A = this chain, B = another copy of it.
Amino acid sequence: MRIVIVGGVAAGMSAASRARRFDPDAQVTVFERSANISYGACGLPYVIGGDVPGFEHLIARTPGQMREQGVDVHLRHEVTGVDAAARTVTVFDRDAGRTLTEPYDRLLIATGVRAVRPEWARTGLAGVHVLRDLPDGRAIEASVAGAKRACIIGGGYIGLELAEALRSRGLDVTLLEKGPEVAGRMLDPAHQQRVRAELERHGVEVRCGTTVEGLAGKDGHVTGVQTNGGLVPAEVVIVAVGVKPNVELAQAAGVRLGRTGAIAVNARQETHVEGVYAAGDNTESLHRVTEQPVHIPLGLTANRMGRVAGVNMAGGDARFPGVVGTGIFKVFGLGAARTGVTQAEADGLGMEGVSVDVDSTDHAGYYPDAAPIHVRLTGERGSGRLLGAQLLGQPGSVKRVDVVAALLHGQGSVQDLFELDLAYAPPFSSVWDVLLVAADRLGRELCEEG
């Protein structure tokens, strides 16, 4: 069995490991366009911010370690074409400058996403960055040294995490957001405001409703961002306006994309072209709450898809279970987590969502260091089904969003949540954990309105 994997980061390397583990006789070859494999891309902002002392700490496995596992890793090898009928790929060896043809029995396309670069960002000015991979991280690191002012464009996960990181490095940071608030795709409006307030409390200047018109530069280096509200001076500009799945290779292979624009697969990570699999940030997954395909590129999902693809390519039968829309991030002292759908998302999907907001403390109020925690819980009118939760609080307290994620996985109800036997002692929670209080209140709301 000849397995070829295109892309050597999360999904690709998980697939390679799993395939070899499942079938030690499988011949597994990985082609990675860049010079790096298997690193924790989610950690990049924390190296830039100085929490993690160097990019090398993000490396999970080296090519040498993978080779010891029997995985044949080729760095700086770009797969440029696929002949799905002949079951071959065309590979450009960037160092040798030559093209080779490699046969496969099973092919995995794990090409990830790229950062969106709007037309105005393509100026060639130094100091303008996106953050997607290790070289991007190193380039930002180099730009930050000696810089005084940074401008971040986009208030999503990456923009928010970088705002904290660059502020921690002592820069003046302005965050520009086109929409009415930051974190617009992650949280409902009231919670977005709390995230912005936390940024502002730590000296980040946040300008929402701001459209970028262009970049200003001098001597080949960026000097500022031209907006509908005037010029924002900055020597470092981060463009964090979203990502796009890398689907060109898949399309060349005749693979079908889904409505989200990412690659459509079944639960075995098979595309509709025989022998061709897809996994990772370039691939859709099924949302278990909405039962719709979604494109939510996140680390755990990519790793899990890779595992499933690896097992299946090696002759096994694994299934990707879908996602429930869980996400988590932190800005300074505030942790924010979500799972399922927000009220806004439920509205957009025509679901009959009802939400309650509960403020409590993360453990017994009388025990030291009790800190505020806010929960918005959303359920479905009529069915009583749980739809989602949003939590804001100290970073240590919001991981309890996982309890709701666990129930959403099995299409649990608001009543199910209320009935849970959650862990209680004063240093850990209130007698009635804030999740239980929210479930109780939402349950009554659903009854009265139902």
Contact A416 B423, beta carbon cutoff 8 Å? no
- Tell whether A58 is near chain B: CB-to-CB under 8 Å: yes
**CB-nearest residue of chain B relative to A296?**
B421
**CB-nearest residue of chain B relative to A328?**
B423
Bound Cα distance A300, B429 (Å): 11
Give the residues in chain B near A407, CB-CB below 8 Å. 406, 410
- Tell whether A405 is near chain B: CB-to-CB under 8 Å: yes
Decide yes or no: A323 and B40 within 8 Å by CB, A46-B367, A403-B406, A432-B303 being known contacts: no
Bound Cα distance A429, B335 (Å): 13
Contact B328 A426, beta carbon cutoff 8 Å? no
Task: Tell me how far the C-beta of A368 lies from the nearest C-beta in chain B, rounded to whole angstroms.
Answer: 5
Task: Tell me how far the C-beta of A167 lies from the nearest C-beta in chain B, rounded to whole angstroms.
Answer: 16
Contact A427 B57, beta carbon cutoff 8 Å? no
Contact B40 A366, beta carbon cutoff 8 Å? yes
Decide yes or no: A424 and B367 within 8 Å by CB, A303-B431, A429-B399 being known contacts: no
Contact B367 A422, beta carbon cutoff 8 Å? no
Give the residues in chain B near A395, CB-CB below 8 Å. 427-428
Contact B421 A409, beta carbon cutoff 8 Å? yes
Number of identical monomers bound together in the oligomeric complex: 2
Give the residues in chain B near A420, CB-CB below 8 Å. 402, 405-406, 409
Bound Cα distance A330, B429 (Å): 12
- Tell whether A299 is near chain B: CB-to-CB under 8 Å: yes
- Tell whether A396 is near chain B: CB-to-CB under 8 Å: yes
Give the residues in chain B near A337, CB-CB below 8 Å. 423, 428
Q: Out of B300, B322, B325, B416, which one reaches A424, CB within 8 Å? A: B300
Bound Cα distance A441, B436 (Å): 31
Give the residues in chain B near A364, CB-CB below 8 Å. 40, 42-43
Task: Tell me how far the C-beta of A176 lies from the nearest C-beta in chain B, rounded to whole angstroms.
Answer: 23
- Tell whether A425 is near chain B: CB-to-CB under 8 Å: yes
Give the residues in chain B near A427, CB-CB below 8 Å. 46, 330, 335, 395
- Tell whether A261 is near chain B: CB-to-CB under 8 Å: no
- Tell whether A412 is near chain B: CB-to-CB under 8 Å: yes
**CB-nearest residue of chain B relative to A288?**
B421
- Tell whether A63 is near chain B: CB-to-CB under 8 Å: no
Bound Cα distance A410, B58 (Å): 38
Q: Out of B301, B323, B399, B429, which one reaches A428, CB within 8 Å? A: B399
Give the residues in chain B near A402, CB-CB below 8 Å. 400, 402-403, 420, 422-423, 433
Contact B321 A419, beta carbon cutoff 8 Å? yes
Give the residues in chain B near A16, CB-CB below 8 Å. none
Q: Out of B288, B367, B425, which one reaches A51, CB within 8 Å? A: B367
- Tell whether A252 is near chain B: CB-to-CB under 8 Å: no
Bound Cα distance A420, B406 (Å): 6
Contact B416 A367, beta carbon cutoff 8 Å? no
Q: Out of B303, B322, B366, B425, which one reaches A52, CB within 8 Å? A: B366
Bound Cα distance A227, B188 (Å): 62
Bound Cα distance A364, B325 (Å): 21
Give the residues in chain B near A428, CB-CB below 8 Å. 328, 330, 335, 337, 395, 398-399
Give 29 A-B contacts (CB < 8 Å), ordered by A residue. Answer: A40-B364, A40-B431, A42-B426, A42-B431, A43-B366, A51-B367, A51-B368, A52-B366, A52-B368, A303-B432, A321-B421, A322-B421, A324-B421, A326-B421, A328-B424, A328-B425, A329-B425, A335-B428, A337-B428, A339-B421, A395-B427, A396-B396, A398-B423, A399-B400, A400-B400, A402-B420, A402-B423, A406-B407, A410-B412
